[in-house]
Amino acid sequence: MSDEKQFTIESYLEYIRNRKLMGSKCKDCGVTYVPVRKLCSECNSTKMEWVEMSGKGELAAFTSITVGTPYFVERGYDRKNPYCFSVIKLDEGPMISAQLVGVEESKPETIEIGTPLKVTFLESEVKGETKVDLGFEPA
């Protein structure tokens, strides 16, 4: 992958499909965006560069969902088998949403905000296609 990739949502998602968590960093003010942005909403600059995230962060907030969206229900999640939606604060600063795995989803009281996490890429088959979604798990 070359660094000429445009700063679009599709480029970001393509990186995810290739198991890379990438952001854009503003060359003028230094703010990092994950998901990627072409325009810096802090300083209005368009001078961006791609930066790869370490994939490390900590759990900022979460929930364990028993009544899920069709995308998750189709993949077998339900009241007896809940899944965790979470917000992760990356070491590089930005926050991102992802499914939290490797935890006891049906015992959410055991999950703690502040837990160190690392990135993982979640594969699933949807209508014969392999999908890769962003996930995080305890580090």
Where does this chain bind other proteins (CB under 8 A)? 9, 13, 35, 60-73, 77, 79, 82-88, 94-99, 108-109, 113-114, 133-134
Please identify, using beta-carbon distances, which residue of 29 and 139 lies nearer to Zn ion.
29
CB of 78 to other proteins, least distance (A): 11
117 contact choice in Zn ion, other proteins, none (CB below 5 to 8 Å, kind-dependent): none
Footprint of Zn ion on 19-78 (CB under 5 A): 26, 28-29, 40, 42-43, 45
42 contact choice in other proteins, Zn ion, none (CB below 5 to 8 Å, kind-dependent): Zn ion
36 contact choice in Zn ion, other proteins, none (CB below 5 to 8 Å, kind-dependent): none
CB of 12 to Zn ion, least distance (A): 18
CB of 33 to other proteins, least distance (A): 9
Pairing state of beta strands 116-126 and 56-65?
A: antiparallel
The DSSP-derived string for the chain is: --TT--SSHHHHHHHHHTT--EEEEETTT--EESS--SS-TTT----EEEEE---EEEEEEEEEESS--HHHHTTT-BTTB-EEEEEEEETTS-EEEEEE-SS-TT-GGG--TT-EEEEEEEEEEETTEEEEEEEEEE-
Q: Which residues bind Zn ion (CB under 5 A)?
A: 26, 28-29, 40, 42-43, 45
